[in-house]
Amino acid sequence: MKSLAKALAFFSGAQFVTMLVQLGKGKLGALILGPAGVGVLSQLTYMWNLFHTMTGLGFQNGLIRRVAQCESDGDFDGLRAQLSTTIGLLTLVSVAFAILGAVFSSRISDLLLSDGGDHATLVAVILVSLPLAINARIFRGVLSGLKKVKQIVRAQIVADVLSFFVFLVLVWKLNLTGAVISFVALQTLKLGFYFTQFKIAVTPFQPVFRPSYFSTAEIHHNASYGISGLLLVSVGIVTTLTISRWIIEQYGLADNGVFAVSWKVVTVYLGTLYASAGSYYFPLLASIQNDKELATQVNEAVKLYMYLIPLASAFLLLGGEFLFVVLFSSEFGYAAMLLFFLLPGDLFRICAETTGLSLLARKRLVSYSAVYLIWAACFLLLAWKLLPEYGLLGVAFAYLSSQVLNMCMALILVSKELSVKLTSRTILAFFRGLILLASISLVSWFARDHLNVVFAGVFLIALWLLASFRDDSFRQLAKSGFQRVKRNG
């Protein structure tokens, strides 16, 4: 747990900066663009994410796994071949997708927003950044495979901070168009800084790209991961896009903006804690050959997240409405209600994904893909049934219900195919976190006085901490954290 916790500590510093930048952008966007403008921008971002995933051909996990293996074997020729092949192929594909997106921008705009193509120019502009983002992701993937945590963090922080000032100026001057242009600028900054850190940290790769290094064998190596990754991430984005489109059709752009803000809190602000640590966790799993060690690492990772995520989620639940008003505007206050279902649902998701990554690391792609596809189908079906009658709360409840199913499927398959099971201590850590979030959600839902909710929440958090301190791993983690703070202080 210590190595993952150390990587998480590095990433958490970067994510704190990223979160502050996102919060600043969110506040400016909410004040200047309003709920409708936020709704448009969220749809454009979802669309860009889908194109970004498709142009990446799902190679990212294969790239990270291949780099980690080559580095372990000292195979620098394989590393050079992987990098040249991936850069050459994905750059061509991303340029082609950007051109096609621009040609059909009017149709895409209408499909996303039911606007008759009024936002076609914004669609074309945001897609310009695809080749930049793809190459930035490649260089980050190589650094991740080599476990260059500090380099990733350094590049991420500088790019995020500079992008805030770009966003500030452009949104103030150009409104929604400025927000889209600043998104392109962010991808440019990421590419520049990830490439710079790559050049400094990974000297054996020079030169970075050479056509003679291009190898069809490297494409074949990534293909199985590519098909699985492309399918799953695309399905996830299409699911979100579809539900957002239903919200726009039935309730309008403003309600979609409210949903987008609550979704962002879960998947971006809080989710970055999990996603960034995954930059270290997945290469670690990919390098493990022993089943017993694999099970140990999975349990340590799940426990670590169950110590961190519930506490962060509890504070979000307690201050939800106030935070949404302060961080965005009074028009987004209703988004806090959605967190009562979204945050507990995310606890199930993180447990499922952390456990399920062992299937991906061992190339059990059919099982890994099946779990995700069934989850997406369940989420869509429930959202479709509940949205007309219960509105956004119905969508949030659909997310929670589908993630319960997702976790159950992941645990069953991992246990059956890899003999990886959660230990009793890991299960207890999960249920402690779940009980904490469920209790705070219930108190917040039924209590009338917010001050009473806060007192009850603090009491529940104290009980959770007392129960968690009975776990040796939690005590060691807390001790390590206090020592680090004391040294830095």
DSSP result, 31-66: HHHHHHHHHHHHHHHHHHHHHHHHHTTT-HHHHHHH
> pLDDT per residue over 274-303, tens digit each?
555 555 676 677 777 787 888 888 898 888
pLDDT of residue 104: 93
What average pLDDT score do residues 96-125 get? 90
**Whether the predicted pLDDT of 357 surpasses 80:** yes
Q: Identify whether 204 is preceded by a cis peptide bond (ω within 30 of 0).
A: no
Among 55-64, 311-320, 412-421, 432-441, the range scoring the smallest mean pLDDT is: 55-64
The rounded distance, in Å, linking the Cα atoms of 69 and 326 is 47
Question: pLDDT averaged over the chain?
Answer: 81
In the block, residue with structure tokens 């969508």: 395
Q: How would you class 472 by CB atoms within 10 Å of its CB: exposed for 0-12, middle for 13-18, buried for 19 or more?
A: exposed
**What mean pLDDT do residues 141-167 have?**
81
Q: How far apart are CA 130 and CA 381, in angstroms?
A: 31
418: Cα separation from own chain's centroid? 26
Which of the four pLDDT bands, split at 50, 70 and 90, describes residue 408? very high
Highest mean pLDDT, choosing among 314-328, 420-434, 472-486: 420-434
- Which tokens sit at 44? 């454009």
Angle, vertex CA 68, rays to CA 62 and CA 71, nearest 5:
135
Residues in the chain: 489
List the domain boundaries for the chain. 19-223, 288-489
Q: What is the pLDDT of residues 291-336, one digit of tens each?
A: 788 888 889 888 888 888 888 888 888 876 677 776 676 777 777 8
For the residues 267-276, what does the mean pLDDT come to?
58
Phi/psi for 391 (5° steps) reads 65, -145
Confidence class for position 6, pLDDT limits 50, 70, 90: low
114 or 189: which carries more pLDDT confidence? 189
pLDDT in tens, 203-220: 655 555 666 667 776 676
Structure tokens at 409: 């499927």
Q: What is the pLDDT of residue 400?
A: 95
Q: Which helix (H) or strand (E) holds 230?
A: helix 216-251
What pLDDT, on a 0 to 100 scale, did the predictor assign at position 126? Answer: 93
**Mean pLDDT on 40-67:** 82
Interhelix angle for 60-73 vs 271-286, to 10°?
Answer: 40
CB–CB of 222/86 below 8 Å? yes
